[in-house]
Each structure stands twice: as structure tokens, then as C-alpha cells.
Structure 1
């Protein structure tokens, strides 16, 4: 069993010194025990029982400190999400258009979502960094790279070991310990376009003594980001059109909410509105391609031996992240519906004879038969109010402390407590107070012939006329009166208390003693979010939103056992019972087997159940206003249309009256009515837990000391997956019932106006889908001495066989494999050469060829047909190089280039499904920065 092999020695070296992944993965030791020798046991992600080797019944990928150094990444998300088994949930590009998640960096295993990926720090939970109204995930910004020793990715469900959320697997970030001395590290970088400047500096100091260790680390990171206009692919709002020959082309699609205003078919000054580049508005000119991010952090650790067999440990993390100067385009204001609320039966408007309206515009409107502006379209881009900005700060603090007791030679006890809190504060600019806008649009002439607000009280409060008829016509005083600066605050808090005992039972099987672990755990989550007073009342131009306030807790008991049935055959068993305060009790279990028929080959298989209990956002997320498109099943119904849906529609008095009054006996909505349906989405306390059944099987083959090969097949089936119910689905479920069971207001979910048009359709979270995914992971590691140095090669490959989402209600299934974010193949090839104090690394990242949509639900802007040319995206390969040199005086210098050949991202403009808002590509898959240079130095003394 490799008693003194290079393989066994490599495990110890890699774990204790953070060697490269190639060395670590090659070192898959198969439990080497020498007679009479003390066996060193290590803690491995996925088990609470220490063991003698890294390989377990489930596959684990390790990213070492060396890997992080070779990428020059100052954010752990950059290295983690480049792994073939993970993908970004939120990143600094795909969140740039958001006001609450902007700047977040999260990760998703198997593409199953950040909420199904459990992120741990040193084997224990870390507090969420997402505002509780939006979701739940660890913000990787809160874990600086300078603190990290290695990252272990457990690529299998593990709820029986760690509890809820470990559906896709576990990301366990192991921080540095037992630091002795002082280390100062600094790095700077810049793109080939001379932007996205980054800089980082950290100072770490620690001391070992006979009774323990103490250390502290301080650091600062700054990422200047990239403006949308600084790259050709994102400097304009683009969409897919058909040219004169019917070919798909990407062309400029400027917004029809222009700075000069658009009233019917006219500009604000009365000239004809031509649209296009001349009269439209380029929203991209205000957008971010990469959100700027500034971080400051401090971390500390203390370990003390209180007695020969008792030790205490403490961890402290503090991090603050700022996303200053994050902007999107100025507010697009729909005066008819946002201010006068016509879509909600509002009666406001502006008579065509208002003194605010220019004569030329008045004449054109009168000629068209318009007597009041609420009878036509009236929209404007509010550029005088500036960009909609989000200055957001997240402060995360986490304290972890515990005590370990070596009861005897075989039994140990561990008790720990963690508490963490993330406070989010944001200032939003560029918004409009729609109530004051209504007052400022209602003007008269005073005795001196000056235009003033008609409402006397409003005048006393500073109201001045709001002239929106032309570019630059809104005065500074009007901006001051109408603008709506907003503040929003949120807080996520977590408390965990756990205790466990581990050891060996006095029962020996043929392969050795039975190892066991058992314990109790209590976890409490709290979350609040206040979107600001005007946002809550609906008086702001942003969507109305209710506050969030919720609390949940879970009480868990678990047990695990390792049964060495015989020499070379081991069973791993685990079970957990979790009692959730909202959803009740759930059992989960893990079962695995390892079999080593010969010294060089290990076979393994595992099966497990997992759960994801709903989080604060799922349960208690405040209702927020939305105007996403919905399909009214009554649209097009006639007096003679057959079927239950038609009968249910005609049972609604407003619809039956409209059908009776229509010359053709139809209920046909206007375009404005189809587009004007509002409503809310939010949490739902009736949501139940998701469940998952997973299994994997594979082998580890140490072909020779220098070459190893690992292959694992995985299969994950998620039931009752939590999602926000599409509002059109709400309507379908409401109307596709027998008339005797039909509710005219869909049990309170809908509201119609006097003409029968939908005003509101409300929805929320529910257990919507089943998700099935499967595939193969493979790793090949090779190490050989060439010339005066050592060459290492590692191939990490993922093949996704299926990713099927099936609607629970209708049974509709879509297999997303082959779409942009679900490539069939992803792979990394890492090559390195070490000679004395010099090392060189070349890393290649492969993303397979994909399509934008597998089921044709995208479309061009000319005739709406599904995309063809723009549906096809070629495979890409990114090349990164890194060189480092260790000087004899404790100084290490590094230089590197990411995206060496300046590979540009594929164009995914409007009309595609995968293109991120405002960036015309998919940042989760493709590099948006371009060629990037960095250099750094580390000094140790």
C-alpha cells in the first residue's frame, strides 16, 4: 500500500506546504501505515472523521495557494470560477445593472446555483453577503486571497455532513495557520487597453511558541473596473436585425426614451421623431462593463494550548467592500403610466393647451386629434438628473471560536461557535419623485405671466415647473424639487453553535477499527432589508418594494461512520436529521464505498440525499413591483370560443362587457394594455424544502509514481426546486381549471381595470421545477524531471451529459446542455516547469462551442424569428502565463499575463438569451477585460 512511496510523501508535503494542484492531485495516497509507526491523520472536506489520505468515496478537487499565485488573481472568485466545475453566480459584470447585487462575487457548483453551493471557511459556515430580500450566498469578496492556503471543492452532495445547501457540493476555503514571521505582499496590474488598474497590498505577521500561535493580517485591494464605452463590443446598445438580404447583423438599437422627450411621434420641441441613432439614446454610454471594487480587510487568529489535551482556537474576519461610481443610464420616465398612473386607472394628465407645451408640438398634437397628453405616448430620458448611481458598501464581520479536547488516544471532542453579520448600505442617485413630478407638470401663469406650479402648497414647498419638452429644458431648481435620492439598508446575520465527538469504536473489523463522529448543531439566520421610504410607498421612479424582515433556525443531529470491512474495502455512512423552524424535519444520508483491488487502483462510489431549506429571501422577501411581460390567456377570446379557459374569461364581468361592446365580439388587448401589466413578486412562507438524490462512481489510478488518472461520473436530481413563479404561469394555472373551480381574481393574484385589461398579476417563490444533471469529471496529473528542472502537467476536464429542467405543473422539459452557460465540455490544462528558484507556468482554459438557445426562444428585432447566425458561438481557449523567482533573501517576484492572445468575447447583443444587460456578452463564460498584465513582489522575514 505505497508504504514509503513518492505518492504518500507527496500528500504530506502538499497538505503541509500548499504545493501545486498538480502535485497534490498526483499525491492521492492510499492510506499508508507502517507497523509501529504513528499514523498522521488529516481532515478532509466531506467528512468529520480524520483519515490518512486525501482520496475519499466522493471526488475532491484542490486549488492550492500556488494556483492562486499563478493566476495573479486578487479575488478568489477569479480563480474559483475558472475551474471546470464551477461558474460565477454574480460577478462584477453581470451584476453591474443591478442596484442590490452590484459588485457581488459568488460561485455556483455544477451550474446549480449559488444557493445550492455551500461555501465553508475552515469547515464551518460563513455568513451570507447578499441582501436578504434578494437571495442567499457567500460573497467571495469577504475572503481575501492573502488569507487562503487552499480551496477544497467537494463535488458531491453532502447535506448529511454539513446540513442544508450542500446540494451541488461544498467549497471549503482553508485559511493559513501557524504563521511565523512577517510577510508583505504587493501587486499591481493593468489591461492591454491601459484600464482596469488593480493594486493590492497585504501585511501578515505571526508568531509560534510552545503553547500556541497568533497571527494578524491586514490588506487593501482596489479594482478600478471598466466603463462600457471602453470596449468596442459594449460601447453601444446593440441588437440583432436582418439586413436587406435577410442576414443577421448586430446594429445599434438606441433607446426610444430620448433626452428631448418623445410625445406620440414627435420630439419635445414638436419636430418629428425619427428614432434611430439621431433621435434615440445610447444607454451604454453610462454603463459599467466591470464594476469598480475597493476592499479593506483584517483577519486574525489565535490558538492556545490550555492543557496537555485541551486547546482553544479563535478566528476573526473583518471586510469592507465598496462599489463607488457604479452607474447605469439616467431614469427612463413614462409620464403617462409612471406619473399619471393611467395603466392603474389613473385620471391625471396634461391638457394640450398647457403653457408648458411648445406651440409647434401643440399644433402637431391638435392636428392628430390629441386633446390631452394622457391619450398618447409621453416618455423622456431624465439626463438632467444624472446617471442612476449606486454607491454601495458591504461590511462583513465574522467571529469563530472553539475548544478541542483530546479525551484519550482515540477520542476527541470539539465545540465551536460562529457569529457573522453583513451590513449593506447603499445610496442611489438619479431617481425621480413621481408624486412631485405630477405637481411640477401641473402649471399655470401667475399675474406676471410667469409659469408656476398650480398647487399653492407645492409652491411653498419649492415646486417649480418641470419642463420636459426638449433637450436640457429641465432647470436646476426643478431637478432639486423632483429628484429622489434614496438610501437602502440591509443586514444578514448568522449564528451557529455546534459540538461533536470523534473517535474509534472498540469494535475491529477485518480492515481495522470503526471510526465514528457524531454531533449536534444549532443554526440561526436573520435578515432585514429596507428599500427606502419612497420606494416603499411607490413615490419613486424605481419599482415599489416592500421591506424584508425574517428569522429562521434549524436544530440538527448527525452521525458518521467509516467501516474498514477488510483490507482495501471501506464503507462510509452518514445521516443527519434537521428540524427547520419553518419547513419542519428532514432526514438526509450519505453512503460511500472505496475498494482497492491492487495498490495502484482505487474504485469508489457514493450515493446521497440532500436538502436546501428555503432562506430568508425565499420565505420573507418583501414584495417588489415588476413589469415583466405577461400573457393574458383571455387575449383574443370571442363570444363563441370553446373550452374552459374561454368560459372562465367570459365569467369576468369586465371582459364579457367588452366582448358584448366589440363589433367583432372579441376581447383583444391593445399593445399598451399588453405591456402595462404590473404586479409584485416576493417571498412565500409556504415554500417547502428542496430535496436531491445524487450518486457518483469512479476510480483513481496511479499508473506510475509520476502519472495518475482520476475519473468520476456524477448524477444529481433535484426535486421541488425553489424559484419565482413566472407570472404568466400564475395565469395559466388560474384559468386552466373547470369553471366551477375558477376564481375571477385568481385568489387575489390579479386585478383588472374597467376595460378588463390586467393591471396587476402577483407572484412569489414556490417549488417550481425538477432539475436533473449528470456528467463526467476527469483529472490527469504527470510529473517528470526534464533537464535540470521538474515539469508538471495537469488536465482537468468536465463533460456535462445533461442539464434538464422540468416544470412540476406542466411537465415541460428543456435540456440546456450546449447553451452558453452550459457547455458540453470545459477543461483546464496547466503546465509548469521548476528549475531551482525559477518557475514558469502556462495555463489554458477551454470553453466548448455553444448555442445561445437550444429551443429557439431568442429572436431578431426585425421579424422576431429565432436566431441562426447569432445563435452559434465558437469554442474559445484562453492562455495565461506566469513567471516567478525566489531570491535568496526571502524576496519572491512574479510577473504574468492573463488572456495572452487578447481573445475578445463573442457578441451576444439584445435578442439573445445569454447576453448580460448592457455588456453584449456573457461574463460568466467569457473574459471581458482582454489581455491583462500584472507584477508583484512578496517579502518574508
Structure 2
């Protein structure tokens, strides 16, 4: 029936590829023509093999030609160019983190990497994120050279694939049935002369009558970029106000200088000014360096006429070496005397370490001990804080395909994967040793540490009063380089039967798939002894360990209700070891009233069950700002407060006493900014649930023109997030006074004068999310001169992206902000003349604002940005040339960001990432980039 549209669409698929960004799968239908047997195929989003390449849920396909045309050596760079994807972690936005450095992940619809399910050949892949920090597949572990194509299912599909498929599914199909040998070599260089990359891959394979095998070995290296190598990131910047109230971008250096700052003085006693501050960007990374080595093996073998075995083995190691940020900002009273001496220690004004000029100035200011004033220093002599991390991923997938009879088949498989991470952190300080090294005396004409036991262990006086005053011996004594380890492990066992029931409806038999699946996840993280004990200058962190499993049963059916009309139904029941049982479902309808048109609709109920981090993430120390609900309370202003808040605050003896003594509970700056606490996982977290639906059509307008339009609507309830510590306090204090507990069930601590010293929090089900939009994709081709031209438009319009707080119903609207633009598009042009192929791709990121709600976090006294809140639309242009010199030798040359577009300035005070002054998820930070390579077949 649909032979004509099939032929047209397949032709478009062949000539419309080689785009430098997302390639939309064209309209492709197939049906059994009378007298002709059409082979059934497997399509992402369904376990039932079918004759139709389209499903009720829209799918975008990136072909191998598309991937090659980007020149990308990392699959994340390919995926995140698609208008429906955005980077979760990348080599720029993760540069200031520790456990996340160097990760490359993706997020469909910008709903989070944890809500995007990544499959390899239709099966799950192990997480590459440290278990204490989250859960996501690190795309570094899947080398681009291994990939045949990528299928992006743009809708929830938990009933088909299980938990996490809320935003959609990315199914990476690897190469197989390889014959011969192939060598790929490519090198690249930024127009600035840096970010040198190189990759080399060797692949070989052999097929025989009843089987095939192949293997691949590869090496990639990306040297990265320092922040000082680009003008927009060479200086630590923020948005400030001039004397007339006008916004401008200016330097915002750190007041923790290398010479030290004590009160209002430099460490040597001279007066401190902003000219003595420190540029943190001088140590930061714009693009983290990354080195990868990988090996892969695949085999298929017929064991009999009806049974085939398959095996896939992947090994990958990724190293991030030399990723640095500025040296430790050392706050001596807080980091040393508060932590090691419970606030009772300090340095007497007569200490022989203190220079005479500084001593005289401090005495004149009434300071007798340095614990009474600001005492901070940038620990340059200790070295930059560095993170060297190596992640090694091993994965095995193996199983059997059994043709039970002509109508039924079975697939039984297992996958096992493990990611081990080894992290070395430099530039940290052992604070117990620092306390000993700051307590000194004169002995035989020399300064020595007072503690005799410490002297025997190598204690050397730590002179923080001036630049380059820390001796090599002191630096070696207090330096505390740390090691942290992590491991994520996954095991999946599944079996399914697919076939047709002997029940014929109007347009054929009923297709069915039924199956079971067992999945087990284990994760652990050890931050190192000093970090766990709180004895280093980094925040204290507990170890993480957790294990969970789920046992699932699922079924899917396709009901051919009438000629051109089919109904897809699927359901899954999941029994989770922690959260219990959940049922998910999918429903889809397809209707073709004429050969050229297909109408489609789908709906789904999906879940994301909490992961190891959500449930068991070890508690870590935090000093993020927290708001005390009792701040400002007095004996006479009860009308200014919630009645319960006022009553509960005044019920705390220390606060009531302070109000009586001073008239109001007014906090000092130190009290307002010095509230510690911990955050971590919670075993009480429930699964997220989602309801999604889409409505669209596929239309073959002419032989050489087709397009698709799809409306989508995603609603997520009980979205998991870390509860803000201010929210913990508000919920506690707004409760009834009869049941009020001033410790808020052990989460809150106050000191003897009522000031908060600690507020703890953790993960919880906090929000509802709503995302609504429209996808449009079109393909067109025609003959031009001696060659053929193909054009493609991929466009996404975001109508709504809102977050609603479950607690109070407050709504935040994000559609139109930096990472959630209303308009994104790719236009791809390809011209082929014999052995030459020319590709030009234009990527469009629409005009956005930094914040719709005006809640920019600023370092000045204005509430929200005006001038710098708006960011103009950006176009990026990429070019690629490929030429087949012979059947066995192909060369390629390309330029990304042809016109060297500089990213918009988004420094501190905006959504820009720390250290790079822009948003790398949206904008290119490298600049114009050249690459060239060859492919040789043997």
C-alpha cells in the first residue's frame, strides 16, 4: 500500500544526511505489498519488530555520516548539538567541581541527565558518575569511532525500558559485521593555536558463513584550554554598578590575597586595598584536558539454524590530568582554630610570627588575639588545587536470540558494567598540622613549633604574613594531598518473547512482546581519611555506599485496527527494593488516511526511581547561605512575622534572652554567613512520576520534500531535589507551637547566644516540572548542476518550562532563559559531486534572558539585572569537506565556528559557570577550530 512513500523516504534518508548537527529521521513507512515479503525491523521505542520505521513517538536519527561531518571525537559533542539535547556536564561547566571534572553527559529537553536514559544497542549502560554525586552515563566511555548511528526517542518510555526514561531515550547503535581493517586518524587545533586534539582508531573484523567478529582500539587526547587563554575568561569578572547606577562588567578579584589579609592590613602590616586582591582566573580551566584509551570487541555466532549468540565487550579509561583551580583560600580563625580547637585557640598579638608593623596597627585597633579579626590568605606556596581523575569503565553484554518458530522469537541477555574512579586532589591543607605550625616560640635563636611531638613529626613554623613567606619545609608539612575512590556497578538480566498472536484484526495479526528484567545497582565512594574526618581544608564528607535492585515484568502489543490505523499499548510493573512497586504505561496511535500522510499520537506514564546518590549519598559539609526565620525578631514586632514562627522563635531560651538583653535578635555578619551543616541522600525519597503526551504528523509533500511536526507535553510530579536549608527551617518554624522542636528533629543547632551554627538537609521530593513545546523537522533535496543538494531544518520551540514547589505552590518560569531558549534550530546543507561531499551547518540559539524572575545572584546592591539580563541570538557555522581519493582512502577537512563567534559575557551575578564567564552548555568557548583526518581501509 505504501510502497511509493517508502521509496521516496528511503531516497531522502540516503541523500539528506551528512549534517553537522541533528539529523531527523524522514518519513519512512513500509507495508507488505501483495506477493512481496517485507523484512521486519527493530525500532527504538518498541520491542516488537515491525515493517514500519516510524512509531507513534517521534524519533531523531544521527547517522554515521552525520557524526563524521562534525569532526567531533566525543559523542557528547554530537548529541548536544541537537536542538532537543543539552550538555549535563561538559569539560567546561564541570571544571570547578571535583568528582565531576571531565564528565561529558547529555540531557534531553534540559530535564536533567538523570532523566535521560542512555542505551547501547537497546540495553542499559553503567553510570560513570561518582555515586555520591549523581547518576548518568559518561559518554566518554562510548568512543565515537564505534558508533553506527544514534536514535533519540523524544518521549517518555518507562514501560518499554524501565526507570529513568522520563525525558526520552538515547539509543547508541554500535558498528557490527565489519569486514577488513580500517584506520582513522584525525588532528585538530583551535584558531588561537591551542586546544590541540588528536585521535587514532584501528578497527578490524571478519565475517564467515555463520558468524562474524570485530575489534577496535583507539586513543584520543584533548589538551584543553586555560581560562587565561581567552579574553572573556582571563579575568574573574562580575556585573557591577557604577556611581550612576548603570550596570557594567568589571573585575571582582578575591580578598584572600597571597600576602595575607589581617583586619584592614596586608600580612606585612601595610594597608590593604583592592589593588592587593587576587585574580582567581589565573589558575582556572576553561576546557578541562581529557585523555582516553579504549578497546571494544564484538562477536555473533550461529549455534544452530534457530539460535544465535552475541557478545559485546567495551573497555575505556578516561584521564583528566592537570585540571586546576586557584590555591586554597585559607580562613585561619574558621579553618584552624574553630575546627581544631573548638573556637578556643588563636594567635596572641605577641606571637613572634607577627611583623612589628602589623602588631602595632592591630594593637591600635584593640586586637589582642588574631581570632578577634579577619585573618585570611591565599595559599599559593602550597600549590593550585588540582584534580587528577581516572575513570575506567568495563562493560560486557552477551546473550542469545532464538527463533522459536516462524512467528515467535526469544531474546535473553545479560549486561554487566563497572566504572572505577581514582581521584587525586592536590593543594589541600592538613588543618591540625596548620594549628601546630602557627603556634610557635623562640628556641635557641630560632622559631620552632611549641608542640614537641609535632616538632618530632617535622613541624615547621607556618609564616602567613606576607607574599612567599611560607617556607618549603612548612609547605611540605601542612600540605595534604588527598585520594578519593568511587565505584558504580550494574548488572541486568532480561528475557523477552516477541511475535504475533493467532488473532487477526482488520489489518493483520496482533503483535506482542512480553518479558522480564532484573536490574541491580551498587555504588560506593570513599572521600579519603582527612576529608571524612574533617581534618583538611576541604569540606568534610562522609563515605557513600548503597545497593538497590528492581524486578520488572512488561508487555507490549500492536493492534492493527484498520487499514492504516494501529494502536500500540505497553505496560510494565516494577518492584523496587527500596521504593516498592510502580506501574508504568505507554499508548500510541498511528493513522495514515492517505499514502503521503501519517498522523500520530502518544501518551505515557513514566517513573524515575531514586538512585544511589538520592538515597545513600554520604553527607557532606556545606556553608551555603541560609536564612534564619528568627532574624530581626523583637518583643514588639510579632505582627511582622508568621504567628507560629514568632511563637517558636521566642520559645527558644537563647533567642528570648538575647531579645531581652539587646532588644532584638539581630545577627552579626559572621553569624549570618557562618552557618554550617551537611547535605546528603535520604532513604525516604519516593520515585518521580511523569505523565507525557505528544501529537503530530509526518507528511511527504513531494518526492523530494518531507516534514514532521510534533507537539509534546511533559508533566513530572515529586521531582527529586536537595531541599534548601532555608526551606528546612521555614517548614520547621511554621509548624504549630505545640509540637515544635527547636532542633527540628536533629537538623538544627544553635550556640549559646541563639545563632545558628548548623542546618542539615538532604534529598527529597520537592517540585513539579512542566515542559511543553513543538518540534519541526524538514528534509529537501534536488539536483543542482553536476551534483545533488540536500537541505534539512531541525527546529524546536519551547512554550513552557516551569517548576512548581510542592510545599507552597510557588512557580518559577524558565522558558526563554539561557539554557532553556524558546527557539533552537539547525540548518544543514550538503552538496555531493561524485567523490566530493561539502557540508555546511548553521546552529541557532535564540534570544534569551539570564533570568525571567529577576532572581540573579549578584555581588552588588541591586535586585535584578536589566541591561545584562538580555542575551542576543547566536548563530554558529560549521563546514566540512570529505573526498574519496580511492575506494580505500578518504580525507576530511573541517572548520567549526567558522566566523570565530565569541560567547556572550555571563560572569558572576548571572547563570555563567564559575571560572569561564559564560555558559558552555549553550555557547562555544573554543572559538574557530580546524581539524583534518584520513580514513584508510585495508
Mark yes or no: TM-score above 0.5. yes
Label 1:22 to 1:71 Cα distance change in 2 as closer, same or farther (>3 A): closer
The answer (yes or no) to whether the contact 1:13–1:19 under 8 Å persists in 2 is no
Choose which of 476, 479, 488 in structure 2 pairs with 1:480.
476
Matched residue, 1:189: 188
| Unaligned segments of structure 1, at least 5 residues | none
Which whole-Å CA distance do the structure 2 matches of 1:572 and 1:376 have between them? 70
1:487-526 equivalences under 5 Å are 487-526=483-522
Output one character per residue of 1:828-875: Cα deviation in whole Å (capped at 9) or x when no partner: 000000111100010000001101111111155342331111111000
Which whole-Å CA distance do the structure 2 matches of 1:614 and 1:159 have between them? 14
TM-superposed CA distance for 1:345, in Å, is 5.1
The answer (yes or no) to whether the contact 2:505–2:562 under 8 Å persists in 1 is yes
Which whole-Å CA distance do the structure 1 matches of 2:131 and 2:448 have between them? 44
3-state SS of the aligned residue for 2:413? strand
TM-superposed CA distance for 1:23, in Å, is 12
Matched residue, 2:524: 528
| Residue 252 (structure 1) aligned with residue 255 (structure 2) | no
Matched residue, 1:798: 796
Matched residue, 1:454: 450
TM-superposed CA distance for 1:396, in Å, is 0.2
3-state SS of the aligned residue for 1:646? helix
3-state SS of the aligned residue for 2:779? strand
| Residue 63 (structure 1) aligned with residue 59 (structure 2) | no
Paired residues, what number?
934
TM-score by length of 1: 0.98
Matched residue, 1:120: 119
| Residue 332 (structure 1) aligned with residue 324 (structure 2) | no
Matched residue, 1:685: 683
Which whole-Å CA distance do the structure 2 matches of 1:390 and 1:174 have between them? 33
Choose which of 537, 540, 552 in structure 2 pairs with 1:541.
537
Label 1:685 to 1:188 Cα distance change in 2 as closer, same or farther (>3 A): same
Matched residue, 1:264: 263
The answer (yes or no) to whether the contact 2:20–2:828 under 8 Å persists in 1 is no
Which whole-Å CA distance do the structure 1 matches of 2:12 and 2:398 have between them? 27
3-state SS of the aligned residue for 1:33? coil
Output one character per residue of 1:192-241: Cα deviation in whole Å (capped at 9) or x when no partner: 00000000000000011101010000000000000000000000000111
1:209-248 equivalences under 5 Å are 209-248=208-247
Matched residue, 2:358: 361
1:55-454 equivalences under 5 Å are 55-275=54-274, 278-341=275-338, 346-446=343-443, 448-454=444-450
3-state SS of the aligned residue for 1:77? helix
Which whole-Å CA distance do the structure 2 matches of 1:19 and 1:179 have between them? 21
The answer (yes or no) to whether the contact 1:514–1:564 under 8 Å persists in 2 is yes
Matched residue, 2:885: 887
Which whole-Å CA distance do the structure 1 matches of 2:5 and 2:766 have between them? 52
Which whole-Å CA distance do the structure 2 matches of 1:31 and 1:199 have between them? 42
3-state SS of the aligned residue for 2:886? coil
1:715-730 equivalences under 5 Å are 715-730=713-728
Label 1:18 to 1:558 Cα distance change in 2 as closer, same or farther (>3 A): farther
The answer (yes or no) to whether the contact 2:766–2:805 under 8 Å persists in 1 is yes
Which whole-Å CA distance do the structure 1 matches of 2:5 and 2:588 have between them? 26
Matched residue, 2:825: 827
3-state SS of the aligned residue for 2:745? helix
3-state SS of the aligned residue for 2:781? strand
3-state SS of the aligned residue for 1:667? coil
3-state SS of the aligned residue for 2:917? coil
Which whole-Å CA distance do the structure 2 matches of 1:266 and 1:882 have between them? 58
TM-superposed CA distance for 1:641, in Å, is 2.9
Output one character per residue of 1:574-620: Cα deviation in whole Å (capped at 9) or x when no partner: 00000000000000000000000011000000110000000000000
Matched residue, 2:925: 928
Matched residue, 2:849: 851
1:546-585 equivalences under 5 Å are 546-585=542-581
Which whole-Å CA distance do the structure 1 matches of 2:119 and 2:339 have between them? 50
TM-score by length of 2: 0.98
TM-superposed CA distance for 1:449, in Å, is 2.3
TM-superposed CA distance for 1:752, in Å, is 0.7
3-state SS of the aligned residue for 2:902? coil
The answer (yes or no) to whether the contact 2:5–2:595 under 8 Å persists in 1 is no
TM-superposed CA distance for 1:348, in Å, is 1.1
The answer (yes or no) to whether the contact 2:21–2:82 under 8 Å persists in 1 is no
Which whole-Å CA distance do the structure 1 matches of 2:8 and 2:522 have between them? 45
TM-superposed CA distance for 1:26, in Å, is 6.4
User: Root-mean-square deviation (CA), in Å?
Assistant: 1.5
1:482-881 equivalences under 5 Å are 482-642=478-638, 643-662=643-662, 665-858=663-856, 860-881=858-879
TM-superposed CA distance for 1:911, in Å, is 1.0
Which whole-Å CA distance do the structure 1 matches of 2:13 and 2:878 have between them? 26
TM-superposed CA distance for 1:20, in Å, is 6.5
Which whole-Å CA distance do the structure 2 matches of 1:23 and 1:512 have between them? 35
TM-superposed CA distance for 1:657, in Å, is 1.4
Which whole-Å CA distance do the structure 2 matches of 1:416 and 1:45 have between them? 17
The answer (yes or no) to whether the contact 1:26–1:781 under 8 Å persists in 2 is no
TM-superposed CA distance for 1:27, in Å, is 4.2
Which whole-Å CA distance do the structure 2 matches of 1:18 and 1:41 have between them? 23
3-state SS of the aligned residue for 1:638? coil
Greater shift, 341-350 or 534-543, is seen at 341-350
TM-superposed CA distance for 1:738, in Å, is 1.6
The answer (yes or no) to whether the contact 2:152–2:171 under 8 Å persists in 1 is yes
TM-superposed CA distance for 1:4, in Å, is 5.0
Matched residue, 1:469: 465
TM-superposed CA distance for 1:375, in Å, is 0.5
| Unaligned segments of structure 2, at least 5 residues | none
Label 1:608 to 1:5 Cα distance change in 2 as closer, same or farther (>3 A): closer
